[in-house]
């Protein structure tokens, strides 16, 4: 089995809420030494063919990817899928259903922002949208920075667009079981993304991991741009305890916004099983 020293299996393009095209992301990953890459747009596989072609042109190994929005215990949880068939009809239809409702949600978000004196947010956010089916809070955040309402996107996500703040519209995403099944029946491995980001109680977190495994989920993101070193260590321990494979990904969105660049992550602890080993047969080899 080929061993990969710099896998980066989590990032976003203009097909969801990133600012770079799949081709520019591939070039950036390659330039930063990534030797196994996956594009994981939110709820969308529309960029997969371009990402694969760009990776192959650079001689960089590639795995298909997606990051599915799930509602679990009243909280939004993200499930990354890797190494599945991106043309699988159940996956494609499931993702389309998950995306449905984003537009209406966006109009409701804009209405709330208008009520606190921020006009034109729907049209403003749309100017940043690359995929009309994927209006995201990130696009609203860019509009709020552009118009000077906030200094940067992290200020936006403290003052707006989150529960209890103007511009937050609760949304019902896919179920955990559906997301895990779409990925696994399409031949892929399901991974719980950035687990330290969820504000779960210990009991809720235990329920998430056990239900995830019961549905056939097999991986957890241990090293990610949104984990500190101690958070990575904590989820490395949990991976050992539960027998989960470990994934690694920057969650890169934009050169201007992301703290962690593609390929610039600490290594996975050597004793953990890399999640990509579980879908080794589905890796499109590089050179």
Closest listed residue to residue 216, CA positions, set 237, 197, 189, 195: 189
CB 205 within 8 A of CB 101: no
Considering the rule CB under 5 A, would residue 43 count as an interface residue with Mn ion?
Answer: no
Considering the rule CB under 6 A, would residue 42 count as an interface residue with ligand AMP?
Answer: yes
Considering the rule CB under 6 A, would residue 131 count as an interface residue with ligand AMP?
Answer: no
Tell how strand 245-249 and strand 75-82 pair up.
unpaired
Strand partners, 42: 67
Considering the rule CB under 5 A, would residue 17 count as an interface residue with Mn ion?
Answer: yes
Dihedral sign for Cα 144, 150, 151, 154, please: negative
Q: Using CB atoms, what's the residue nearest to ligand AMP?
A: 157
The residue from 253, 265, 268, 276 that contacts ligand AMP (CB under 6 A) is 253
Strand partners, 54: none
**Interacting span for ligand AMP (CB under 6 A) from 89-97, 134-142, 233-241, 264-272:** 134-142
Considering the rule CB under 6 A, would residue 153 count as an interface residue with ligand AMP?
Answer: yes
**Concatenated DSSP letters of 169-181:** -----B-HHHHHH
**Interacting span for ligand AMP (CB under 6 A) from 83-91, 136-144, 261-269, 273-281:** 136-144
Q: Rounded to the nearest whole angstrom, what is the least distance from the CB of residue 226 to ligand AMP in the complex?
A: 9
Q: What is the CA radius of gyration of the chain?
A: 18
**Interacting span for ligand AMP (CB under 6 A) from 82-90, 153-161, 180-188, 239-247:** 153-161
Considering the rule CB under 6 A, would residue 210 count as an interface residue with ligand AMP?
Answer: no
The residue from 251, 252, 262, 265 that contacts Mn ion (CB under 5 A) is 251
Considering the rule CB under 6 A, would residue 69 count as an interface residue with ligand AMP?
Answer: yes
Considering the rule CB under 6 A, would residue 247 count as an interface residue with ligand AMP?
Answer: no
Spatial distance between the Cα atoms of 264 and 36, rounded to a whole number of angstroms: 13
Considering the rule CB under 6 A, would residue 250 count as an interface residue with ligand AMP?
Answer: no
Range list of H helices, 116-193: 121-126, 137-146, 153-159, 176-185
Spatial distance between the Cα atoms of 225 and 158, rounded to a whole number of angstroms: 19
Chain residues in the site for Mn ion (CB under 5 A): 17, 67, 78, 193, 251
Chain residues in the site for ligand AMP (CB under 6 A): 17, 42, 69, 136-138, 153-154, 157, 253
């Amino acid at each position: 089995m080929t061993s990969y020293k710099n896998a980066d299996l989590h990032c976003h393009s203009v097909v969801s809420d990133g600012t770079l095209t799949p081709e520019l992301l591939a070039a950036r990953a390659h330039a930063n030494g990534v030797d196994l890459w996956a594009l994981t747009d939110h709820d969308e596989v529309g960029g997969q063919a371009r990402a694969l072609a760009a990776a192959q042109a650079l001689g960089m190994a590639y795995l298909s990817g997606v990051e599915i929005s799930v509602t679990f215990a009243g909280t939004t949880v993200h499930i990354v899928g890797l190494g599945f068939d991106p043309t699988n009809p159940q996956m494609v239809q499931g993702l389309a259903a998950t995306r449905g409702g984003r537009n209406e949600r966006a109009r409701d978000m804009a209405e709330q922002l208008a009520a606190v004196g921020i006009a034109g947010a729907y049209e403003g956010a749309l100017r940043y949208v690359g995929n009309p089916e994927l209006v995201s809070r990130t696009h609203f955040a860019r509009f709020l920075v552009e118009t000077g309402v906030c200094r940067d996107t992290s200020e936006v996500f403290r003052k707006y667009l989150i529960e209890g703040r103007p511009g937050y519209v609760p949304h019902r995403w896919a179920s955990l079981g559906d997301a895990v099944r779409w990925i696994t029946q399409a031949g892929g491995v399901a991974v719980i993304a950035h687990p330290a980001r969820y504000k779960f109680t210990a009991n809720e977190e235990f329920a998430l991991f056990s239900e995830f495994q019961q549905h056939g989920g097999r991986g957890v993101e241990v090293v990610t741009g949104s984990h500190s070193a101690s958070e990575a260590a904590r989820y490395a321990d949990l991976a050992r305890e539960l027998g989960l494979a470990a994934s690694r990904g920057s969650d890169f969105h934009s050169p201007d916004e992301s703290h962690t660049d593609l390929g610039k992550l600490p290594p996975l602890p050597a004793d953990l099983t890399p999640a990509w080993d579980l879908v080794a047969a589905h890796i499109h080899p590089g050179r």
